Amino acid sequence: MNSIQTLNRVADNIRMLSVAMVEKSKSGHPGGAMGGADFINVLYSEFLEYDPNNPLWINRDRMFLDPGHMSPMLYSVLTLAGKLSINDLKEFRQWGSVTSGHPEVDFERGIENTSGPLGQGHTMAVGAAIAERFIAARFGEWTAHKIYTFISDGGIQEEISQGAGRIAGTLGLSNLIMFFDSNNVQLSTKVDEVSCEDTGKKYEAWGWKVIHIDGNDAGQIRQALKEAKAETEKPTLIIGKTIMGKGAMKENGESFENQVSTHGQPISAAGACAVKTIENLGGNAENPFAIFPESAELYANRKKELEAIVTKKEAIQQQWEKENPALAKKLESFFAKKPIDVDFSAIVQKKDQATRVSSATVLATFAHKVENMIVSSADLSNSDKTDGFLNNSKPLVKGDFSGAFLQAGVCELTMACLMNGMALHGGIIPVCGTFFVFSDYMKPAIRMAALMQLPVKYIFTHDAFRVGEDGPTHQPIEQEAQIRLLEQIKNHSGVNSTLVLRPADADESTVAWKLAYENTKTPTVLIFSRQNIKSITTYETALQSEKGAYIITKPAGKPDVIMVANGSEVSTLVDAKPLLEEKGLKVQIVSAPSEGLFFDQSQSYREEVIPPNIPVFALTAGIPSTMLRLAGTTGKIVGLEHFGYSAPAAVLDEKFGFTAQNVFEQVMSMIKK
């Protein structure tokens, strides 16, 4: 067993490296990293099980960081573990480095999640813990592993922790072990100035096992981790009281620990002395990026232990594969880059129905065919029609993860974040649904999915003011424009960070789902209607959706007007067409389910669909700017410039002008000008 003296010495090394990184880059957060170093060192040198030679080993334990600002702590321990170099530490926060200010997911280097927005990291861990149990339920306990997560005061205070804590407790996720770095310091205040809660009691009330320790005591940390690993019923919270800026010292040799000012700036800028601090930590200020011999030895020994652990586990796996060849193949398919084939052309849609119902038809197929899909709803499954999946599966419950539906309760942000954790864990295709207007609650997690390039699928129904009687609180107006901004942002791979699809009818919905399912590189947002929509496409014609926008009706000869829309508004344009034709106008109608995909097409294709120098009329149930990129600044866009009103949907259609007659009048007045 490693001596406490060695563990303390190595933790000091992590503190020293953290100080050095922030001093060199002249920016960053050293204080928290210094306090959390003891836990992270015990975890990585004695508990976390991973394959030092295969970062993608599916049965590895995962460590999800919540406070991304504590990145120096993570980068330092990963350097000791051989995943990063001293040079990487020296490049902290610099252009092109792998050590960005807040960590970005990088499995090869042992970074399991992107962190920065407080609260999301540990919620992703809960998602990963669900994924782990889902897989163990199907393939056996030999796949079992632990999900560790590190949270700080900020994450505890974020509202999302309520959802994460409730769900982890309710599901009895005993594979989840969370360390709370409780240092009573946050960015601008001490914690007790803003909170008087008893955090331990709160988690106990949610069904967690709670252990209180001195978080800077390696022996207590080791003991708590042992107890947590042995727990079989509940997730464990280890509340470790730690000291912000542990080891920090002033020029005159006085302690500079426990200062709010060391939270977010170099310790020298905060008033401590970097040289004295490094000496106090047992280092040499001439070489603050040194790895102590004790650290090198500790982690070299751990590497050997890990290799032995992995060899043993792989032997078990090989035996299992021999005895269960069919299951082994299935497990491989769960983690494959490409999902199993689904024949979308065989899905029969009833015509003229609400696209949320068409979505449910596709989900029913998934429930039967795609065994690694988890679908979730924030308590709206019968409205957002994720029940198409649920009715052919069953909910995940404590002790029984043989189902595939997660009843998340009312917690949209938590739910979206859980999906990110499942995707990061791997082996799962995560899907979640709610009303479109509540995508607002989910945006921070969708943004993280986009940044991390996670193929989460979102089902957003009740896509327009046509929710009618529910009124403005439930009427999405600016949500489509907002979510489509993510189509315009390129991710680190240089492609649209998100795919957004709002299909026009039943068959276009099948095709939208096909595109979503086959999109393994980015998140996909699917926007469906509450109300019935007249069918205007077939599966074959709708396949053109893969180009983002396509011609629904093409006149003979040069069109007089191009009419473009997506979702239910396309059929309103189709209804207006005969009225315009009566006046001798040649009309081209375009369905544009994905603006992002459309702008990826060649200019010649785009100009075939929306030719230049022909008047463009666009209709949207959202704010007019939803259509701005398609209609251009010279086009005419009819949309909504207010939050909506309560009334039956048909009345709102009349009042707001979403009728064939109004489209006809608007186009005529545009042409006359």
Ligand X SMILES: Cc1ncc(C[n+]2csc(CCOP(=O)(O)OP(=O)(O)O)c2C)c(N)n1
> Looking at 149-157, 205-213, 265-273, 285-293, which segment touches ligand X (CB under 6 A)?
149-157
422 binds ligand X (CB under 6 A): no
User: Among residues 6, 18, 152, 216, which is the contact residue for ligand X, using CB under 6 A?
Assistant: 152
Whose Cβ is closer to ligand X: residue 198's or residue 540's?
A: 198
Stretch that binds ligand X, among 125-133, 181-189, 200-208, 474-482 (CB under 6 A): 181-189
What b/e sequence results for 39-73 when a residue is b if at least 16 CB atoms lie within 10 Å of its CB, and e otherwise? Answer: bbbbbbbbbbebbbeebebbbbbbbbbbbbbbbbb
Nearest to ligand X of 29, 209 (CB atom): 29
Position among 69, 138, 457, 502 found at the interface with ligand X (CB under 6 A): 69
Q: Does residue 435 contact residue 384 with C-beta atoms inside 8 Å?
A: yes
- 154: contact with ligand X by CB under 6 A: yes
SS3 sequence of 6-31: HHHHHHHHHHHHHHHHHHHHCCCCHH
Q: Is 548 in the site for ligand X (CB under 6 A)?
A: no
Which member of 91, 112, 158, 412 is catalytic? Answer: 412
For 514, list phi and psi in degrees, rounded to 5.
Answer: -60, -45
Q: Which stretch binds ligand X (CB under 6 A): 110-118, 313-321, 381-389, 508-516?
A: 110-118
207 binds ligand X (CB under 6 A): no
Q: How far is the CB of 271 from ligand X (least distance, A)?
A: 16
Per CB under 6 A, the list member of 4, 86, 187, 489 interacting with ligand X is 187
Q: Identify the helix (H) or strand (E) that includes residue 298.
A: helix 293-323
Q: How far is the CB of 71 from ligand X (least distance, A)?
A: 11
Q: Whole-angstrom Cα distance, residue 463 to residue 530? A: 7
Which of residues 153, 217, 487, 653 is near ligand X by CB under 6 A?
A: 153
334-338: which pairs have CB atoms within 8 A and are 24 or more residues apart?
334/135, 334/371, 334/372, 334/427, 334/428, 335/58, 335/426, 335/427, 337/520, 338/520
Choice from 18, 186, 216, 572 touching ligand X (CB under 6 A): 186
Residue with the two structure tokens 């995943």: 83
Site mask, ligand X, residues 479-518, x = CB under 6 A? ----------------------------------------
Contact flag: residue 22 with ligand X (CB under 6 A)? no
Closest distance to ligand X from the beta carbon of 414 (Å): 14
As measured in angstroms, the least distance from the Cβ of 39 to ligand X is 12
Token pair, residue 545, equals 């959706």
* Site membership for ligand X, residue 32 (CB under 6 A): yes
How would you class 212 by CB atoms within 10 Å of its CB: exposed for 0-12, middle for 13-18, buried for 19 or more? middle
The smaller minimum CB distance to ligand X, of residues 153 and 463, is found at 153
- Residue 155's alpha-carbon distances to 75, 287, 441, in angstroms, are 20, 34, 17
Binder to ligand X among 263, 313, 514, 547 (CB under 6 A)?
263
Cα separation values, 207 from 171, 175, 199, Å: 9, 14, 13
What is the rounded distance in angstroms from the CA atom of residue 659 to the CA atom of residue 469?
A: 19
Active site residue 412: yes
Q: In this structure, which amino acid lies at residue 354?
A: A
Cα–Cα distance between 254 and 6 in angstroms, integer?
25
Q: Which is nearer to ligand X, 72 or 172 (CB)?
A: 72
Give CA–CA dist 132/129, Å, rounded: 5
**Stretch touching ligand X by CB under 6 A, among 10-18, 116-124, 137-145, 279-287:** 116-124
Query: Is position 163 an interface residue for ligand X (rule: CB under 6 A)?
Result: no
Nearer to ligand X, 69 or 606 (CB): 69
By the rule CB under 6 A, 461 interacts with ligand X:
no
* Range 219-248, binding ligand X (CB under 6 A): 244
Distance, CA of 384 to CA of 621 (rounded, Å): 19
Q: Which is nearer to ligand X, 51 or 181 (CB)?
A: 181
**Among 507, 565, 518, residue whose Cα is nearest residue 359:** 507
- Is 313 among the residues that bind ligand X (CB under 6 A)? no
Site stretch for ligand X (CB under 6 A), options 66-74, 123-131, 383-391, 563-571: 66-74
74 close to 114: Cβ distance less than 8 angstroms: no
Identified binder of ligand X from the candidate list 103, 116, 207, 635, rule CB under 6 A: 116
At position 194, the amino acid (one-letter code) is V
Residue that the structure tokens 């508004």 belong to: 569
The region of 25-33, 350-358, 397-405, 521-529 touching ligand X under the rule CB under 6 A is 25-33
Q: In this structure, are strands 429-435 and 499-501 parallel, antiparallel, or unpaired?
A: unpaired
Instruction: Please report how close the Cβ of residue 483 comes to ligand X at its closest, in angstroms.
Output: 20
Please, are residues 645 and 472 in contact by the beta-carbon 8 Å criterion?
Answer: yes
Size of the site for ligand X (CB under 6 A): 18
Residue 620, classed as helix, strand or coil, is coil
Q: Which stretch binds ligand X (CB under 6 A): 16-24, 148-156, 219-227, 383-391?
A: 148-156
- Looking at beta carbons only, is 4 or 187 nearer to ligand X? 187
Helices within 339-429 (DSSP H only): 355-369, 387-390, 412-425
Task: Provide, rounded to whole angstroms, the least separation between the CB of residue 351 and ligand X.
Answer: 45
Q: Residue numbers of the site for ligand X (CB under 6 A)?
A: 29, 31-32, 67, 69-70, 116-118, 152-154, 183, 185-187, 244, 263
Which residues are known to be catalytic? 412
